[in-house]
A and B are shown apart, each in its own frame.
Chain A
Amino acid sequence: MYAKGFFSENARKPPMVEATKRAKGQREKHLPEPMSEKNNPPTKEDVTEWLTEHGDLLYRYAMKRIGKSDVAEDLVQDTFVAALRSADGFEGRSKVQTWLVGILRHKIADHLRKVSRQRQRDAKTREDASHAEVFQHGHWRVGVKPWTSDPAKSLENEEFWTVLSGCQEKLPDKLSMAFRMRDIEDLPMAEICELLEITATNLSVRLHRARVLLRECLDQNWFSAQRHR
């Protein structure tokens, strides 16, 4: 049931990912001489080149952690601005890209901290209430019913993903962030703890609640209809 490799982080990726990687490698051969050959920090004059070379990677890095494109764009912008300002501080000990990613990581952490503080100031969270609706005195309030429809069929259905997406959005912010970082973006537990500035225990509580609520929502909004077909 819990075979050692089953929940392994190193599960072999499906063929499509490998093919994409190969194709990507071939495309890069045709680009002009990469800027990373010269390990100099960006200056105002060559900003365009720097953006072309590193912008997308930084954007993807931010998107993976933040999930919102407008915020990710702003963070990339902030990163370049900060890089220009502290260009003197770059001693060339690491690659420029590593240095830029380092700056971006700080910006991401700052942003998440700001968002968390803002959330605390706003209306109090209902997450505890929602979770209490599922369990009472440690037991299920309502028994879990089987999901009878063929999983493969559900996955092919566009509507299923819309429902799933909707269920994700209904999650309280704290839970939805942890869920997205872990179950969608597959970030390591340690990194999520760092980004959200919470302990491992706290993270597993959030993931537990998120997954329980998400399952409830999916059950009510998708699989129950399937059962009555």
Chain B
Amino acid sequence: MNKLLAATKLILTLKCEQSTRIVSESLDRELSGVERWAVRLHYISCWSCRRFGKQLRMVRDALRTKVASEDADATKLSPEALKRIESAIQSES
């Protein structure tokens, strides 16, 4: 019974800050049915939060595209770094 009350409370009294928090979490995990409904209902009367959700996903997609297009193999130790590390290792022990 408590769970049902908590769910109802969430759905009916969801404020913007909380809504944005749930939307943010949706980027990292799956939302529960209750959470999804709470946000959907909140969206009906809140354009700000609706836009927030869209913009958050836009930024996330932009970053993913950017990272994917960068050559991961380009990240390597520079020749200077290699030399430095090597001599540091040699002088140890």
Contact = CB atoms under 8 A, between A and B. Distances in A.
B24 A47 contact: no
A133 to B, nearest CB: 12
Nearest to A1: B40
Given A73-B85, A84-B89, A204-B24, A56 B52 contact: no
Main secondary structure of the interface of B (DSSP, over half): helix
Q: How large is the interface on B (under 10, 10 to 19, 20 to 34, 35 or more residues)?
A: 35 or more
A140 B61 CA distance: 24
Contacts of A85: 92-93
A80 B77 CA distance: 14
Main secondary structure of the interface of A (DSSP, over half): helix
Interface in A68-123: 73, 76-77, 80-81, 84-85
Given A13-B68, A44-B93, A211-B56, A204 B25 contact: yes
Interface stretch (A33-41, A169-177, A183-191): A183-191
Interface string B28-63: 111100001000100000011101101110111111
A80 B89 contact: yes
A96 B92 CA distance: 21
A16 interface: yes
A2 B31 contact: yes
A76 B49 CA distance: 44
A146 B92 contact: no
A151 interface: yes
Contact of A80 (B15, B16, B85): B85
Interface residues of A, number: 57
A63 B75 contact: yes
B77 A55 contact: yes
A212 interface: yes
B66 interface: yes
20 contacts: A1-B40, A2-B36, A7-B28, A51-B77, A60-B75, A73-B77, A80-B85, A81-B89, A81-B92, A137-B15, A139-B17, A161-B66, A164-B62, A183-B59, A189-B28, A204-B24, A207-B27, A211-B27, A218-B55, A218-B59
Interface of A: 1-2, 4, 7, 13-14, 16-17, 20, 24, 44, 47-48, 51, 55-56, 59-60, 63, 73, 76-77, 80-81, 84-85, 135, 137-140, 143-147, 151, 154-155, 161, 164, 182-186, 189, 204-205, 207-208, 211-212, 214-215, 218-219
Lowest 8 CB-CB distances: which A-B pairs, in order? Answer: A138-B15, A144-B48, A56-B76, A208-B24, A135-B17, A144-B51, A77-B85, A138-B17
